């Protein structure tokens, strides 16, 4: 049962994989870098 628990845990990784997530993540990344640049 422990092994089953561990394998189900591993199957949850990677936590999220979708084009939409990549877009949102990179948008947020760029926004923050832009803010840093503007602050500089």
Partner 1 sequence: EEQVSVIREGLAELYVNEEEWSKAAQMLSGIDLESGIRMLDDTYKLSKCVKIALLYLEDDDAVNAETFIKKASFLVNNSKDEGLNLQYKVCYARILDLKRKFLEAALRYYELSQLEKREFEGRQVDEDELQQALTAAVTCTILAAAGPQRSRVLATLYKDERCSKLKIYPILQKVYLERILRKPEVDAFAEELKPHQKALLPDNSTVLDRAMIEHNLLSASKLYTNISFEELGALLGIGSQKAEKIAARMISEDRMKGSIDQVEGIIHFGTDMEELQQWDQQIVNICQALNDVLDSMAKKGL
Partner 2 sequence: SDSVYIYDEAGQAMIQQQKPWLREPHYFKSVRISALALLKMVVHARSGGTIEVMGIMQGKIEGDTIIVMDAFVLPVEGTETRVNAQADAYEYMVEYAQTNKTVGRLENVVGWYHSHPGYGCWLSGIDVNTQLQNQKYQEPFLAVVIDPTRTVSAGKVEIGAFRTYPEGYKPPDEQPSEYQTIPLNKIEDFGVHCKQYYPLDITYFKSSLDSHLLDLLWNKYWVNTLSSSPLLGNRDYVAGQVADLAEKLEHVENQLAHSGCVGTFFVPPHKKKEEESQLSKITKDSSKITVEQVHGLMSQVIKDALFNSISP
Residues that bind partner 1 (CB under 8 A): 1-2, 5-6, 8-9, 12-13, 15-16, 18, 20-21, 24-25, 28
Among 2, 17, 19, 20, binds partner 2 (CB under 8 A): 17
Q: Copy the structure tokens of residue 9.
A: 């845990």
Among 2, 3, 4, 14, binds partner 2 (CB under 8 A): 14
Q: Copy the structure tokens of residue 15.
A: 């936590």
Interacting partner of 36 out of partner 1, partner 2, none (Cβ under 5 to 8 A depending on kind): partner 2
How many CA within 13 A on the CB side of residue 31? 6
In 3D, which of 11, 10, 12, 30 has the Cα closest to residue 22?
Answer: 30
């Amino acid at each position: 049962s422990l092994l089953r628990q561990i394998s189900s845990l591993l199957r949850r990784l990677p936590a999220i994989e979708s084009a939409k997530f990549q877009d949102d993540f990179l948008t947020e990344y760029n926004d923050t870098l832009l803010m840093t640049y503007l602050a500089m």
